[in-house]
Structure 1
């Protein structure tokens, strides 16, 4: 059974997720840690629970979701995976990171390009990759049908949606992704988003003002 531990990092209040199961293998999703105390918080949890990180998987490559990738790759000697359409966003981060107060951003290499309908495997667990562009051109989400959850990045929030005014964003595409890929899931699926608290598919169908 997959356990999900969340951490809120950086002034962006970004949710970083650590997923692990009974084998103790773990994956890190969207690491937004930057300050030493943020790395310590994540690393202390990993050590206290005797976990073995085996990969970093990103839903997309905006700055708040990639700040910790390079350091964690080095710390645990693990690969980084991203959708290829988000590579330009990743490469752009170093050009604007200092403007947001992150002067030492280290651009990570990508070892695996994610694609829809593929799976992510760790320990005895697996996640299905779905393609949900709109907030970012190569945005993906990770679904587990057995436990009925989605690691959704910045697509669908509690009574909100991801912004589309950044490079590569498109409102019509985002709304279509939500309706075609997320709202076709059962209502009791939990959505762990890139910001704010978790929500459910059913709650957002009824209460999200952007999707009435």
Structure 2
């Protein structure tokens, strides 16, 4: 499997494109839809789905353009089902970057094992940054896409609606730090890290 990180949108949110031959998954298309669609088209990739680790505005800005261009479904956790359409809930109404919204997702994640096309992964509920945050664990490839739960030497903010520090710390310890130490962590912002590194070096949450 090939994984490509594309910082997109007003906050440089990491969008991930996972590909197996011509099949792909798009995770967190935060903006700059022309750039993302151009990358997919140039590399002859047909997305099977758009997956959202959560529905904050900086993770959803290109959702509708990519969904409509490739005619693919969107997945989000049910607790944030209404956030896509509501700038007050997805946060864009508060940041003076314009009101960002998208149509509702076609599907809600089932927690546990999932498969979409050739892609097999586990969905883990990791709330705290937001109530519907999920992390996507690709065990066969030894990596997790953690959204804004865990960063290199950092954690997601908890001062937005639905955020809670104790919940986030519990999610990291129970759902992320229990992964193998070798697991590579691809966060919503910034560079990749590993579970081993964060257990020993993250100043916000200890193991």
Q: Same fold (TM over 0.5)?
A: yes
Are the equivalent residues in 1 in contact too, given 2:57–2:101 (CA < 8 A)? no
Which residue of the partner structure matches residue 5 of structure 2? 6
Aligned length: 204
Write out per-residue CA displacement over residues 35-61 of structure 1, whole angstroms, 9 at most, x where no aligned residue.
xxx323212221222111111110100
User: Within 5 A, what are the aligned runs for 1:122-141?
Assistant: 122=117, 124-141=118-135
Of 48, 54, 62 in structure 2, the residue corresponding to residue 60 of structure 1 is: 54
Unaligned runs of 5+ in 2: none
Hey, which bits of structure 1, 4+ residues long, moved more than 6 A? Answer: none
Unaligned runs of 5+ in 1: none
Write out per-residue CA displacement over residues 72-126 of structure 1, whole angstroms, 9 at most, x where no aligned residue.
11111111110000124333326863653235x342121111021031422x221
Answer 1 or 2: which has greater helix percent.
Answer: 1
TM-score norm. by structure 2 comes to 0.93
Are the equivalent residues in 2 in contact too, given 1:148–1:188 (CA < 8 A)? yes
TM-score norm. by structure 1 comes to 0.90
Which residue of the partner structure matches residue 206 of structure 1? 200
Which residue of the partner structure matches residue 20 of structure 2? 21
2:92 equivalent to 1:100: no
Are the equivalent residues in 2 in contact too, given 1:117–1:130 (CA < 8 A)? yes
2:29 equivalent to 1:40: no
2:63 equivalent to 1:69: yes
